[in-house]
Structure formats: structure tokens, C-alpha cells
Amino acid sequence: MPKIDKKDDQEEVNKNVNKNANHVLEEGESEEKPRETTVEFLASLAGVLVTGLFIITFVLQAFEIPSSSMEKTLLIGDHVFVNREQFATPTAWMGPLLPYRDIRRNDIVVFLSPEEQGLFVVKRIMGIPGDHIHLRDGAVYRNGEKLVEPYAQHKPADDNPYRDNFPAVPASGDPQVRNEKWAQELPSHIEGDDIIVPPNSYFAMGDNRDVSYDSRYWGFIPRKNVIGRPMFIYWSFITPPDQYQMRSFSDRVGFLAHIIIHFFDETRWSRTFKLVG
């Protein structure tokens, strides 16, 4: 009977084990994903930046609330994102993909002022084309029906017949009607007790009804002036009422420094990501 050399047999087993281990390691190495190159990383980053730039340019726009005319729905210092596409004219290739729709009553909209060139304004749509609108003692009547407006705020500081009984009182009787063109045009839109909203136009008012400088004072919003609808507040900071009038370089730098110093204690954190409606 041949003699079995246990030492040689053990060495053969060890060789087989090492061979199998190397084989497994090689398979594992072959399955490892290749590292991303610098060029690939830059290409990915560029894609993200282009997408973000497209969204900011054509879909969303940042907007700061400058006045108290929409309190308490929107406060001075609220920063909102505006959906620019929702009220845009539908295109043939993007129409089925985006939620286009017509402007509706009670929509809050951002638009270019028909009175002051380049000024962005935010108001609530009270009347669409064909609607009959009038105010009596501060209450709004649309198409003969008195509106229930839980969002409206009344803080009358003085008696103002034109403001509260529009359009029954002539515009010439109110010193706040600074737009002579509107004062002359207004009678042509009145029928009975109401003002009638013409085609491709809208009648808008601020929720802070007694201090709002709105369609009662400068007329209708042309459809082409509408920019979009505020979606949500992304940041809100306590801001002085007259800050938007401070246009000098020193004023801007001074307020920027104030924001940096008081960012945490003067940010209205409870309003962050609040929907606008």
C-alpha cells in the first residue's frame, strides 16, 4: 500500500484555497464601478445648473412683498416664489405637460403695474372679464352678490367715500386718485351701480382693503401684464414699511448688514414654506 504524505497533501489544499480566494477577489474587482472622471463630474454639474437656471428663468421667479396692501395674507418682507407658467399662454409642445389655466376670481397674482413702468405689484383678483363690481360701505358686491371675504382686513383710518363706495363717488372727489387717465376713463366702464370689467382685463384689490392702492385708483390690469401666481413663502424677514423706497447704495448696504446680524432673531420662521392663498 502506498504511503500518504500528509505534509504534501496539506500544501496542495492550501494552494487550492489561495487560488479560489484570488479568483473571488478578481471577480469582486471586476464588478467595482469605475470612478467618475473630472469631465463627467463637470458635465453633471453643468446639467444641474442649466436645469436650475431654466426653472428660475422660465418657471419660477423670486419676489419680495414691499408693502402692507396684502396683509395679513402676505406681510412686508415675505419672499415668495412665483409660478410664471401657470397663467402663461399654452404652447403646442409644452401645453399637455404643464398645468396651464385661466386666471380665476380670488387668485392672488403678481403683475406689472399699469401705472408705473417696471413696478411689480401683488393683489387679489376681484373681477374677471364681464364681471360687475361695486363697493358699499367697504363691502364688495360682485354680479349682485355680497362677497364673504375672510381674508380681507379693514382698518379705516379715516372716512373715505370714494374708497368704500366705489364707483358711486366720482374719482375727482378723492385726492388719492393720482391717475388722471383713469379718472377720465372710469365713467365709460360704469353701468348702473357697477363697474364692468372689460375683455382681457382684471379688477384687483389688496386684502388690507383700506390702505390698498389698487384698481380703484389706477384701473384694470391688462392680461399681458400678469406675471404669475405666488406659490409659497420661502423666507420672511421683519422689514420696515418704507424699505422698498430706500434705493441709495448706502441704504441697501446698511439693510443687508442688518439682515446678516439679525438673520436668526428677525426671520419669521413660522412663515417658512407657507402656501399663499
Q: What CATH number does residue 207 fall under?
A: 2.10.109.10
Q: Answer whether residue 16 is part of any domain.
A: no
Q: Answer whether residue 32 is part of any domain.
A: no
Q: Which pairing describes strands 139-142 and 145-146: parallel, antiparallel, or unpaired? A: antiparallel
159-190 in b/e form (b: 16+ CB < 10 A) is: ebebbbbbbeeebeebeebebeebbeebeebe
Q: Answer whether residue 21 is part of any domain.
A: no
Instruction: Give the residue numbers spanning the domain of 168.
Output: 49-271
> At 231, is the secondary structure helix, strand, or coil?
strand
pLDDT per residue of the chain (277 residues) written in tens, 0 to 9: 444 454 455 555 455 545 554 554 444 444 556 677 876 666 666 666 555 554 555 567 899 999 999 999 999 999 999 998 888 776 655 555 566 789 999 999 999 999 988 889 999 999 999 999 999 999 999 999 999 999 999 986 788 899 999 999 998 878 888 899 999 999 999 999 999 999 999 999 999 999 999 999 999 999 999 999 999 999 999 999 888 778 789 988 999 999 999 999 999 999 999 999 8
Q: Answer whether residue 155 is part of any domain.
A: yes
Domain count, the chain: 1
User: In the chain, what is the straight-line distance between the N-terminal and C-terminal CA atoms, in Å?
Assistant: 98
pTM equals: 0.77
Q: Answer whether residue 19 is part of any domain.
A: no
Q: Answer whether residue 31 is part of any domain.
A: no
Cell reading at 224? 399681458
Q: Answer whether residue 260 is part of any domain.
A: yes
What gap in Å lies between CA 262 and CA 258, rounded to an integer?
Answer: 6
What gap in Å lies between CA 87 and CA 109, rounded to an integer?
Answer: 9
Q: Answer whether residue 146 is part of any domain.
A: yes
- Asked if the bond preceding 34 is cis, omega within 30° of 0, the reply is no
